[in-house]
Amino acid sequence: MEIQIRISGNEAPSMIQLHPSAAGTYRWLAENLHQVIEGDDGEEVLAELRKLIERVDFIPAEGLGKFDLRVHGSLSVLLGQRSARRQKAPRRLAAGL
């Protein structure tokens, strides 16, 4: 009963609005990452990726050599708030592949 009271007292999280092209850019980067890194701008792309990704977790899956990835990063970069990366409690993103 105490848990229900605590849950009912919590407000719904506020919505986060991404830049309209954020999803498309992220998708393109994920699909073309190998070619981009090996190209002339590889170091520049890696620097941008480092701004997005804070941690990657490898989660064992059923079957030999199979795993899932969970990528953790800062939403502030996708939202265009590069200076927000230095804040004490930046908004975070976790996505599974």
Is 33 within the bounds of a domain? yes
Calpha distance 18→79 (Å, rounded):
5
Q: Give the count of domains, the chain.
A: 1
The predicted pLDDT at position 51 comes to: 78
> Tens of pLDDT along 25-84?
777 777 777 776 677 777 777 777 777 788 888 889 888 888 888 888 876 666 555 444
Is 3 within the bounds of a domain? no
Q: Which residue has the tokens 């073309």?
A: 32
Q: In the numeric block, which tokens belong to residue 49? A: 């990726």
Average pLDDT score over residue span 75-97 = 50
Is 83 within the bounds of a domain? yes
**88 lies in which domain range?**
21-96
Q: Is 37 helix (H, G, I), strand (E, B) or coil?
A: helix
Specify the pTM: 0.38
Is 5 within the bounds of a domain? no
Is 36 within the bounds of a domain? yes
Q: Which residue has the tokens 């919590």?
A: 10
Q: In the numeric block, which tokens belong to residue 19? A: 């830049």
Q: Which residue has the tokens 């792309």?
A: 45
Is 2 within the bounds of a domain? no
Q: DSSP labels for 1-25?
A: -HHHHHHHHSPPPPP----TTHHHH
Is 16 within the bounds of a domain? no
- DSSP conformation class of 88: S
Band the pLDDT of 95: cuts 50, 70, 90. low
Is 91 within the bounds of a domain? yes
The predicted pLDDT at position 77 comes to: 63
